[in-house]
Structure 1
């Protein structure tokens, strides 16, 4: 990805209820990848979950937030799967990385 672009940082603490969560998470990732403006996603979970999705612009993020299946997942998350969560939207102006050679 070449900056500038946006990062949506979703951090969460889950409830004890796991039924249906993995399937919904997989569906949301699949659907996000189909959205115009989607650039990528990274995710990790221990005590808290962190998912960072990358987007071309704010309009793409707005459309994803309003996507019908995503709205249903948000409602189910608040009702069943999450104790709490925070969503942050940040403009990425610069990036750099390291990769060890094999």
Structure 2
């Protein structure tokens, strides 16, 4: 991502996915691109920011509601990616869901 997500005024929700990768790509890059494209079409999706360095990745997706987050978590293609993540791509991950109460920016 080359710029911060353009989110609406709070409140909204953030899903913070922090991960440690396994060695090698094993199709990860293609699946990650597919998941971003698919998530961006889901009802309630607001934006995404992602960075990876030295095996540590942090992806933050923004959503209108907890229901939208649950629908994305349960999406059939996303569930397939989650299973591959546990079996092939991640040594460890943590998912955190937060309500954004306030934000501010500088340009």
For structure 1, list consecutive stretches of 5 or more residues without a partner in the other structure: none
Residue from 59, 81, 97 that aligns with 2:67? 59
How many residues are matched? 99
What does residue range 66-81 of structure 1 map to in structure 2 within 5 Å?
66-81=74-89
Distance 2:41 2:75 in 1: 11
Question: Are 1:40 and 2:47 counterparts?
Answer: yes
Distance 1:69 1:17 in 2: 22
Q: Is the 8 A contact 1:17 1:80 kept in 2?
A: no
For structure 2, list consecutive stretches of 5 or more residues without a partner in the other structure: 1-7
Runs of 4+ deviating beyond 4 Å: none
Question: Are 1:13 and 2:20 counterparts?
Answer: yes
C-alpha displacement at 1:19, in angstroms?
A: 2.0
Cα deviation per residue 1:25-79 (whole Å; 9 max; x = unaligned)? 0000000001000000000001310000000000000000000000000000000
Question: Are 1:83 and 2:97 counterparts?
Answer: no
Q: If the length of structure 2 is used for normalisation, what is the TM-score? A: 0.91
When Rg is computed on C-alpha atoms for both structures, the one with the higher figure is 1
Q: CA RMSD in A?
A: 0.6
Question: Are 1:25 and 2:24 counterparts?
Answer: no
